[in-house]
Amino acid sequence: MTAMGSGRPLGALGRALALAGAAALLSAAGASPARADAAGEAAASAMLDDVAGHEARLRVFLQAMPKGGDLHNHLGGSVYAEDFLEAAAAQGLCADAEIGRIVPPPCPREREVAVMAVEDPFAYARLVDAISTRGFQKGIGPALVSGHSQFFSSFAKFGPAYRGEEARWLAEAYASAGRNNLVYLELMYNPGGLARTMAAGPAEAIDAAGLAASYAREIAAVTPLLDETMAEVTRLDAEARKRLRCGTAAADPGCGVTVRYLYSAMRGMAPALAWRSMIAGFALAHRDPRFVGVNIVMPEDDPVALRDYDLHMAMFRFLEAKYPEVKVTMHAGELALGLVPPRALEDHIAKAVASGARRIGHGVDIAYETAAPETLARMAREGIGVEINLTSNAVILGVEGGTHPIQLYRAMGVPVMLSTDDEGVLRSDMTNEHVRAVMQQGLRYPDLKQMARDSLEYAFAPGPSLWRDRGMTAFVPACAAGLASAACRAFLAGSEKAAVQARLEINFDRFERSLDRFRGVQGAKGT
């Protein structure tokens, strides 16, 4: 058996994964319609229009609205500062003398995180602000530090509290996805042992001409680590699900979210280290069906990342030829005028697309690219989607409202999907991204529904789509008579992608049939 659309053998683990999501779907399908009910969708659309100008009412409606997948979510950045500080207190960690980061002991008693939490709430609040963007977003010190610097510097400040607690952070990520009514999550996650080994090697010089020889050496070092890494992922996922009480009557909603992982290559490191991290990601995704693709992360405006951008694209092209079944999404165009010189805005997205990216993360600077019309046309033609991160772009880049390119992408027919990026550091969640989309971008219910569907259509989950065509006008013939038909049930059992898509359609149907619960929230035409 192979993962449909991937060309690689699934094996026992892959078969179990492919069928797990379908099992939950098939037990819940009931008498679901062959296609969404037009009257229910119209009623939901009218209700959102009524509450669109009132953020609190809108939040209640959007919290309950079904959502598809979060395709751009960094595990480390998904954790809220308070959770890191709770872990830090339990580990006996401290704040530094400036109350600006978490550090190992020893320290004076008043700087122990556990003591600060109960005896000095103002110092504790300073620490929350320091290891997130909360203070910046509330206007504390914006003249002294940019959102960009505050955001990216946060990760080093909470590092000691992150290590050793990965199962807890996985559980938090799953729970947030369930709380926000998602059915699928692609989580950027680098298992610790493999990531540490790849970062510990020598930083010898490397260029595009030397990739083949270097790969032969590096893959020999990576391959023996893969079985241990897969076992680590299995163990941590099991611990995370135990935390969420999965399989019990008190299971957290996060237990029902289908979770897959993306491995992150590191663009802000010396070329050999970036290359080593990329090889690790491709090799792991080739072996483990839970890792559905590879990304590249770290600040795109970092001097090393800017210097080596073309080299990184060459690395991707080399590895894509070696591992054609491994999907690629790239952070590209996470730049803004003023953050970097104009020449740095000219072509990053175009180069990522030309180098095999099947999705683009952020894509904020597209309007500044020299070949923007051609790149947008290609993305629309080839179905290369954009992971839109509204809160992240506003806080880190200062790009929002009409400056944000989401409407440009949509106007050009490029698939777009909302995502969270680093919801913990950014003090956001998926529902808040939808609130921003309505209030700041003027999107309405049909737009949000289409983006939810697109998030699953362009997810890297294996298998054929539930939809007959990219226009999503009808289900595939096997499901034309309804999701509960015998033919459709058999089809869904063989495709993880179609199974999560069917689950979303069932959720939309249920939501649109239960709008009476929002009548009080709706008020008198949203006034």
Which of the four pLDDT bands, split at 50, 70 and 90, describes residue 5?
very low
Close Cβ partners of 207 (under 8 Å, ≥ 6 residues apart): 271, 311
The token duo for 332 is 């590209």
Cα–Cα distance for residue pair 185/97, rounded to 1 Å: 38
Is the pTM higher than 0.85? yes
| Domains in the chain, CATH or no CATH each | 1-64+462-518 (no CATH), 65-76+167-460 (3.20.20.140), 82-162 (no CATH)
Of 200 and 289, which is predicted with more confidence?
289
- 25-34 burial, b for 16+ CB within 10 Å, e for fewer? bbebbeebee
Of 441 and 3, which is predicted with more confidence?
441
Question: How does pLDDT run across 229-274, given as a tens digit for each residue?
Answer: 999 999 999 999 999 999 999 999 999 999 999 999 999 999 999 9
- Compute how many other C-beta atoms are within 10 angstroms of the C-beta atom of residue 277: 25
Of 211 and 194, which is predicted with more confidence?
211
How far, CA to CA in Å, does 49 sit from each of 46, 106, 445, 474, 511?
A: 5, 56, 8, 26, 16
Which of the four pLDDT bands, split at 50, 70 and 90, describes residue 204?
confident
Report, as an integer, the average pLDDT of 313-329: 98
HSE-CB at 325 with a 13 A cutoff on CA atoms is 21
Report, as an integer, the average pLDDT of 40-67: 96
Which of the four pLDDT bands, split at 50, 70 and 90, describes residue 159?
confident
DSSP 329: E
The token duo for 133 is 């963007």
Contact 462, 495 (CB under 8 A): yes
CA neighbor of 400 nearest in space, from 442, 353, 358, 431? 442
Which of the four pLDDT bands, split at 50, 70 and 90, describes residue 160?
confident
How far, CA to CA in Å, does 45 sit from each of 39, 140, 436?
A: 10, 38, 17
Specify the amino acid at residue 134: R
**For residue 521, is pLDDT > 90?**
no
Percentage helix, strand, coil for the chain under 3-state DSSP, each rounded to 5 = 55, 10, 35
Specify the amino acid at residue 3: A
CA neighbor of 147 nearest in space, from 306, 305, 338, 295? 338
Question: How does pLDDT run across 370-424, given as a tens digit for each residue?
Answer: 999 999 999 999 999 999 999 999 999 999 999 999 999 999 999 999 999 999 9
The token duo for 70 is 């979060």
Of 144 and 345, which is predicted with more confidence?
345
Report, as an integer, the average pLDDT of 26-46: 70
Which regions of 164-322 does DSSP assign to beta strands (E)?
Answer: 184-188, 258-266, 291-297
- Mean of the per-residue pLDDT values of the chain: 92
**For residue 488, is pLDDT > 50?**
yes
CA neighbor of 353 nearest in space, from 313, 325, 318, 388? 313
**For residue 62, is pLDDT > 50?**
yes
Cα–Cα distance for residue pair 92/102, rounded to 1 Å: 11
DSSP-derived secondary structure for 155-185:
HHHHHHHHTT-HHHHHHHHHHHHHHTT-SEE
The token duo for 201 is 């090697």
Cα–Cα distance for residue pair 420/433, rounded to 1 Å: 7
Of 169 and 31, which is predicted with more confidence?
169
Cα–Cα distance for residue pair 251/246, rounded to 1 Å: 5
**For residue 17, is pLDDT > 80?**
no
Close Cβ partners of 402 (under 8 Å, ≥ 6 residues apart): none
**For residue 359, is pLDDT > 60?**
yes
CA neighbor of 36 nearest in space, from 520, 497, 466, 492? 466
The token duo for 477 is 């013939």
User: Is residue 141 packed enough to be buried (19+ CB in 10 Å), middle (13-18) or exposed (0-12)?
Assistant: exposed
